[in-house]
Each structure stands twice: as C-alpha cells, then as structure tokens.
Amino acid sequence: MSLSKDRISAIARKEFFHIIYDFRTLFIIFLMPVVQLIIFGYALNLEIQRVDMAVVDLARSTQSRKLVGQFSGSKFFRPFFYQGRLDDLEDLFKSREAKVAMVIPFDFERKLQNETSVQVQFLVDASDANAAILIRNYCNQVIMDYNENRGVKLPLPFDLRSTILFNPELKSSHFFVPGVIAMILIMISALLTSITISREKETGTMEQILVSPVRPLEIISGKVIPYIVLAFLDAAVILLVGLVVFKVPFKGSLFLLTGLTVLYILTALSLGLLISTQARTQQVAMMMALLITLLPTVMLSGLVFPIASMPKLLQYLTYLIPARYFLLIVRGIMLKGSVFSQLLGPCFFLALLTLILLGVSVKRFNMNLER
C-alpha cells in the first residue's frame, strides 16, 4: 500500500478545521508575533542610557563643576547633586534612585594643579553585573574626554577609521526582527504538532484513526501539513511587519529564504513529533514543548546573547538548538545578502538535525503503535 494523496488530504482537512474552529488560539498565534516584534524592536536595547548618577562634589570648584558638566553633556548619564550624608549614600542604591555615585574630593582643585594625578571615586551599584561593566566603561570614557579637553592627552600617531557594514546605524530592530521569525516558527511548529498528536492519544481518537485504513506516515503528513501552512503564513506576517514598520532591509534572495525556511519548519515539526511520541497527555506535551523551545531558543540560540561569550560546555549545547542555525541563515540572507554557498555550514547542521529527529521519532512512533 503506497501513500495516498486522498487520505493525507482528508486528514489535513480535518486538522485544518480543528484549527479554524479554535478561533481564540488562531488569534493568539497571529497576534503574538506582532506583539513580540514590537517589544523586541523597540524595547530590547542592551545599551544603557541616561544612567542616574549621584554627584557628591566636596570641592565645589570651577574644575569640579566642569567635570560634572562633562558627565551631563554625555548621553549616558543624568547627574544630580546629592546633598545628604556620605554614609547614607547606600540608600540611593537601595531605593534605586541612582546606579552610580561620583565623589569628588575636597582637595580636587589643589591636587589637579600640583600633582600628577588625582583620584575621583566612583561607587557603582553592581547588582546587575552587566550594567555595572557598561557604567564603568562609560565613566572611563567621560573621564578620558575630560582629560583630553584639558589638553593633557597624547595625540595618536595614526588615524583610525571605522567602517560598519550591513547595519551602519546599529539598529537593534534589524537584528531582532529576523530573530523573532526564528522564535515564532519553532514555537508554532513544535508546540502545535506536539499537542495535536497527544490530544488524539488522550481522547482516544488516535486508536480510532489507527484502525481505519490510514497508514501512520499518512497520519503524520496529514497532521503536519496544515501547521506548515500556518507557520508559513505567520512568518510572512512577521516579515511584512518587519519590512514595513521597522524598515528592515531585505538584501538577499527571497527564494533562498523560502527554501531554507521550509527546512527549518521541518526541523521544528520533527521536534514536535518527537515530543508527542514521548508525552501521553496534552499537558505534558505542552510543558515539554515549552521547556524545550521557549527559553532555550531565547537564551541559547544567539537571539539575544552572543554564543561566543558563553562557557565552553554551554556552547556545545547550543549545537542542538535548531534556531541557532536558522538565525545565521535568516539574518545572513536578509541583512547581508548571503548566498547559499556561504550558508552551507548551518544548512548542513540543520538538515542533519532534522534527519536525526525525524528518524528517532518515526521509530518511536512505530514502537508506540505496536505496544
């Protein structure tokens, strides 16, 4: 008995009606990406700006005021004068009114004129280590500018020209719009397929389908086809919003992106299948799918945090995350105009991952049937 188109399309049609009737889920599936896109596009900004800085100016001199002025002039800081006792400075950190405090010593002016260097103290609220490192670097930069303005810095013997390719304005939305596509595609494909199969198991309809003259492979294909379509539509919506609202460039080939998106959706679907073979109830399937897809995709794929900065062991783990490869593909094609030969590596790994996932889940699926 070979695969029958009629039977596959019959199952696909049934599944399709399931989707259409569940209006609320459908609504969320299409609203969600747009909301995420807007949050990521506008809110996700790892660069710190307008840091509240408490200033304790014990010197109250012309030079110390100039130093404070240098900080107000930079876009990174919002200095304000702190009038309270030095011992109570910590309260500012506890109430989060300031993230950094600058203490200018009372002999600032005198030392600046007579000694080679004068120390200005910076107290940083380091509870957020990443922010503290940035704040320290910014402080350093402002101090360097201040020294330079007073004409005490050695001029460099060469010129430095920096060129920024692909995203000259360093817009974070350009980075995140393709990323959201990767995230949404895996959520929808893996989550929905895993639920749909375990629902049939839970309600007992799986056995009804199995005793009908439909072959397992036909069931699987029939079940996943509607979700491929759905995921594709979703990807198109995100892409459109990204191009129109955020003006993200599209430099590469749409044809290539479409082809590789199909590959990625297949990977995600095989992941969903694997989950559904493991889980007997919808609840378990959902929780497993959420745990496997949501946080790892956000954290370990390079969507937000650079993989190269993670500990080595964790870096190896990222090879198992399908989104890792698709991010390189979609960002490469959209923002850089990469061609297929430049993306061979990620494509190969994605294909390999799909084959393994698919192989294991088909095997497990058959085993489940025999039991």
Partner 1 sequence: MQRIFSMMVKEFKQVFRNRPMLSIIFIAPILQLFILAFAITTEVLHIKLLVCDLDRSQVSKEVVRGFGNTDRFDLLGFSTDLKEIKEKMKAWEAQMALVIPPGFSRDLGRGQNPEIQVVVDGVDGNTAGVALGYARGILGEFGTNYVKNRPNYTQPVGIHLVNMEERMWYNPDLSSQQFMVPGIVVVLLTILPMMLSALSLVKEKEIGTLEQLMVTPLTRYQLLLGKLIPFLILSYVELAVVMTVAIVFFKIPMNGSYLLLAGLAFLYLFTTLGLGIFISTITSSQQQAMFTAWFFMVFMILMGGFFIPIENMPPILQKLTYLNPMRYFIYIIRDIFQKDSSLFSLLKDAVPMTAFGLLIFSLSVLKFQKRVG
Region 110-169 residues binding partner 1, contact defined as CB under 8 A: 111-133, 136-137, 139-140, 143, 146-147, 150, 152, 154-169
Which residue lies nearer to partner 1 by CB, 3 or 35? Answer: 35
CB of 13 to partner 1, least distance (A): 19
Which residue lies nearer to partner 1 by CB, 149 or 208? Answer: 149
Asked if residue 206 binds partner 1 (CB under 8 A), the reply is: no
Return all residues near 53 (Cβ < 8 A) that are at least 6 apart: 71, 77, 78, 79, 80, 98, 99, 100, 101, 102
Q: In whole angstroms, what is the distance from residue 147 CA to residue 217 CA? A: 72
Which residue lies nearer to partner 1 by CB, 191 or 237? Answer: 191
Asked if residue 299 binds partner 1 (CB under 8 A), the reply is: yes
Asked if residue 311 binds partner 1 (CB under 8 A), the reply is: yes
Unique residue bearing structure tokens 């430095």: 160
Q: Which of 32, 229, 351, 356 binds partner 1 (CB under 8 A)?
A: 32
Q: Which of 39, 217, 240, 254 binds partner 1 (CB under 8 A)?
A: 39
Q: Parallel, antiparallel, or unpaired: how do β-strands 77-81 and 51-57 relate? A: parallel
CA angle at 259 for the pair 314 and 9, rounded to the nearest 5°: 105
CB of 263 to partner 1, least distance (A): 17
Unique residue bearing structure tokens 């990977």: 267
For the segment 246-275, give every residue that binds partner 1 (CB under 8 A): none
Asked if residue 233 binds partner 1 (CB under 8 A), the reply is: no
Q: In whole angstroms, what is the distance from residue 144 CA to residue 32 CA? A: 45
CB of 239 to partner 1, least distance (A): 17
Asked if residue 171 binds partner 1 (CB under 8 A), the reply is: yes
**Which one, of 270, 282, 255, lies nearest residue 365 by Cα?**
270
Contact 182, 264 (CB under 8 A): yes
CB of 334 to partner 1, least distance (A): 9
CA angle at 149 for the pair 144 and 153, rounded to the nearest 5°: 60
Question: Which H helix or E strand runs over 79?
Answer: strand 77-81
Contact 29, 234 (CB under 8 A): yes
Asked if residue 217 binds partner 1 (CB under 8 A), the reply is: no
Q: Which of 67, 190, 266, 357 binds partner 1 (CB under 8 A)?
A: 67
Asked if residue 51 binds partner 1 (CB under 8 A), the reply is: yes
Q: Which of 5, 247, 280, 363 binds partner 1 (CB under 8 A)?
A: 280
Asked if residue 87 binds partner 1 (CB under 8 A), the reply is: no
Contact 332, 256 (CB under 8 A): no
**Which one, of 130, 172, 141, lies nearest residue 77 by Cα?**
141
Which residue lies nearer to partner 1 by CB, 60 or 150? Answer: 150
Which residue lies nearer to partner 1 by CB, 192 or 225? Answer: 192
CB of 362 to partner 1, least distance (A): 21
CB of 82 to partner 1, least distance (A): 15
Q: Which of 230, 279, 347, 353 binds partner 1 (CB under 8 A)?
A: 279
Per DSSP, the residues of 247-298 read -----S-HHHHHHHHHHHHHHHHHHHHHHHHH-SSHHHHHHHHHHHHHHHHH
Return all residues near 192 (Cβ < 8 A) that are at least 6 apart: 227, 230, 272
Q: Which of 343, 347, 353, 358 binds partner 1 (CB under 8 A)?
A: 343
**Which one, of 147, 228, 218, lies nearest residue 189 by Cα?**
228
Q: Which of 172, 221, 267, 354 binds partner 1 (CB under 8 A)?
A: 172
Binding residues for partner 1, rule CB under 8 A, total 123
Q: Which of 10, 209, 290, 362 binds partner 1 (CB under 8 A)?
A: 290
Asked if residue 175 binds partner 1 (CB under 8 A), the reply is: yes
CA angle at 92 for the pair 86 and 96, rounded to the nearest 5°: 165
